[in-house]
């Protein structure tokens, strides 16, 4: 037993458990290399002795690791679930997630490989077996083809992090854009430019994919605006030119927040000039190049942050479905673009509204 008032060390726990101190280290990190019974027994002995990791030693270990030349750690899997092998890459946003994740993985000594779980003949057991045979224990779950998707794997074998909210079950740790604040930022910038009657047009499926965060922020903003500036939103099951035209002609917004590029074509058919007569801001920019105004979700940073989170799980040997899933949300950036403009004559009231929304 250690002396009174002295810090309990790994070697003290090892002596009490009758094993090597490296075994104690593995057990306290819940490493699957050891049998579960061994891990639980060592952990119980450590608790009974009052063992607590020395934060200075942990910091020193991280410092030494950072100073060593970078070496290959392992391969991570980019888990895709679209009907076709490359279906996920057709969305530019998803492609940027992947690029950001690949670059960050390489910087940390990992390799990120796509893994298609809809391969013909693939089953959850078979997919899990293949991943383990390739010594892959870290899974980055790419956005799913639709919201509410369920994905089956032998989760206890893996550390896993999901990008976005489209994976319904299991409930994993999530990294994504802070879509509520993205909508709030877009509305704040439009109000600062002088727009007062701001509408929201979206395909319902798109808002569902964002866990309704966009709609939630818009509805909060509506309650903060003067009654004569409030507009009902338009959520469509699919793009409907007639429904959009009827909504637009009835409510006459001065600006529209949307994700659908069809809005630009519909306004052109109505003879409405953008941005001379109506401003259009995209809540997710189709391209970040100056042509469109709206929110850059910073997808590369989302992908990089997801790899950081997953690497941390691997280092801590956190596997399986978490009991308390966490959310890491990345802020978007406003891009002025050329589909909005400064509206003259509305500056004073818009600043008041902008302060209300920003608070």
Which conformational region is residue 178 in: left (phi greater than 0), alpha (psi within -120 to 50 degrees), or beta? beta
User: What pLDDT, on the 0 to 100 scale, is given for residue 71?
Assistant: 62
- Between CA 112 and CA 121 the distance in angstroms is 23
User: What pLDDT, on the 0 to 100 scale, is given for residue 184?
Assistant: 97
User: What pLDDT, on the 0 to 100 scale, is given for residue 33?
Assistant: 63
User: What pLDDT, on the 0 to 100 scale, is given for residue 353?
Assistant: 45
Taken in order of first residue, the domains within the chain and their CATH numbers are: 10-67 (1.10.260.40), 75-170+301-330 (3.40.50.2300), 179-297+334-358 (3.40.50.2300)
User: What pLDDT, on the 0 to 100 scale, is given for residue 70?
Assistant: 58
User: What pLDDT, on the 0 to 100 scale, is given for residue 23?
Assistant: 80
How far, in Å, are 2, 51, 59, 60, 62 from residue 55 at the CA level?
19, 12, 6, 9, 11
pLDDT by 10s per residue, the chain, length 359: 455 457 788 788 888 888 887 787 777 776 666 777 787 888 888 888 888 776 655 555 555 555 555 566 799 999 999 999 999 998 999 999 999 999 999 999 999 999 999 999 999 999 999 999 999 999 999 999 999 999 999 999 999 999 999 999 999 999 999 999 999 999 999 999 999 999 999 999 999 999 999 999 999 999 999 999 999 999 999 999 999 999 999 999 999 999 999 999 999 999 999 999 999 999 999 877 779 999 999 999 999 999 999 999 998 899 999 999 999 999 999 999 999 999 865 444 434 444 444 55
Terminal C-alpha separation, the chain: 57
Query: With a threshold of 0.85, does the pTM exceed it?
Result: no
- Between CA 237 and CA 248 the distance in angstroms is 17
- Token pair recorded at residue 117: 């779980």
3-state secondary structure of 8: coil
Beta-sheet pairing, 293-296 with 333-335: antiparallel
User: What pLDDT, on the 0 to 100 scale, is given for residue 350?
Assistant: 39
User: What pLDDT, on the 0 to 100 scale, is given for residue 30?
Assistant: 67
Q: For residue range 163-172, what is the model confidence (pLDDT) as tens digits?
A: 999 999 999 9
- Token pair recorded at residue 35: 């049998």
Contacts by 239-244 with C-beta closer than 8 Å and gap 24+?
239/203, 241/266, 241/269, 244/201
How far, in Å, are 19, 221, 340, 350 from residue 192 at the CA level?
67, 14, 11, 6
- Between CA 16 and CA 240 the distance in angstroms is 72
- Between CA 190 and CA 20 the distance in angstroms is 64
**What are the two backbone dihedrals, phi and then psi, of residue 103, each rounded to the nearest 5 degrees?**
-65, -40
Q: What is the largest CA-CA distance in the chain?
A: 86
């Amino acid at each position: 037993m250690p002396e009174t008032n002295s810090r309990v060390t790994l070697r003290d726990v090892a002596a009490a458990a009758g094993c090597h101190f490296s075994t104690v280290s593995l057990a306290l990190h819940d490493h699957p290399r050891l049998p579960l019974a061994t891990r639980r027994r060592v952990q119980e002995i450590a608790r009974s002795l009052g063992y607590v990791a020395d934060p200075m030693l942990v910091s020193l270990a991280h410092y030494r690791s950072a100073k060593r030349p970078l070496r290959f750690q392992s391969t991570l899997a980019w888990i895709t679930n679209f009907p076709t092998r490359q279906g996920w890459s057709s969305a530019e946003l998803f492609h940027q997630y992947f690029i950001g994740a690949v670059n960050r993985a390489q910087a940390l000594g990992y390799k990120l490989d796509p893994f298609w779980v809809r391969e013909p003949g693939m089953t959850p057991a078979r997919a899990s077996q293949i991943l383990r045979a390739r010594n892959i224990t870290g899974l980055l779950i790419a956005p799913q083809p639709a919201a509410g998707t369920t994905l089956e794997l032998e989760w206890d074998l893996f550390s896993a992090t999901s990008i976005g909210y489209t994976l319904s079950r299991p409930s994993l740790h999530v990294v994504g854009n802070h879509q509520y604040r993205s909508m709030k930022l877009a509305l704040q910038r439009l109000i600062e430019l002088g727009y007062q009657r701001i509408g929201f047009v979206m395909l319902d499926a798109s808002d569902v994919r964002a866990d309704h965060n966009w709609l939630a922020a818009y509805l909060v903003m509506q309650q903060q605006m003067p009654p004569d500036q409030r507009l009902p939103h338009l959520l469509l099951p699919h793009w409907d030119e007639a429904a959009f035209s009827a909504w637009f002609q009835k409510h006459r917004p001065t600006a529209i927040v949307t994700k659908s590029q069809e809005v630009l074509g519909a306004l052109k058919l109505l003879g409405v000039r953008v941005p001379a007569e109506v401003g259009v801001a995209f809540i997710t920019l189709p391209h970040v190049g100056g042509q469109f105004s709206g929110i850059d979700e910073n997808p590369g940073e989302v992908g990089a942050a997801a790899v950081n989170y997953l690497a941390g799980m691997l280092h801590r040997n956190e596997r399986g479905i978490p009991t308390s899933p966490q959310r890491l949300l990345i802020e978007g950036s406003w891009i002025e673009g050329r589909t909005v403009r400064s509206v003259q004559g509305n500056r004073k009231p818009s600043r008041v509204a902008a302060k209300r929304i920003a608070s």
